[in-house]
Amino acid sequence: MKLAATYATEVFVNIDGGLSITQNPGTGDDDVSIYLSREQARLVAAEIMRLDGNDGFWPVKKVEVGNGASA
């Protein structure tokens, strides 16, 4: 049986420049957290940028975040 996705995802920049990514599954289960070092975060960012829509795989959409800055 497949349940509807109800994840709430939060991304934080750590003091050392790494990333903390936390998902709350919304099912009462514990949050799932991933901690990336600064170098790991750079590798993930580079891969995301590689998938910027030029290969027809993943279309990119500009979104507004927080104080109106673009991401």
Domain extents in the chain? 1-52
Task: Map tokens 């027809």 to a residue.
Answer: 56
CA distance 65 to 62: 10
Helix (H, G, I), strand (E, B) or coil at 64: strand
The 10s digit of each residue's pLDDT in 1-24 is 455 666 788 888 989 889 998 888
pLDDT in tens, 31-40: 889 999 999 9
Predicted confidence at residue 37, as pLDDT, reads: 94
Return the amino acid letter for 55.
D
Query: In the predicted model, what is the mean pLDDT of residues 40-62?
Result: 72
Q: Which residues 6+ apart lie within 8 Å of 42 measured at CB? A: none
Residue 70 is predicted with a pLDDT of 47
- Regarding beta strands 19-24 and 32-36, do their DSSP bridges make them parallel or antiparallel, or are they unpaired? antiparallel
| pLDDT of residue 60 exceeding 60 | no
Residue 63 has pLDDT above 60, yes or no: no
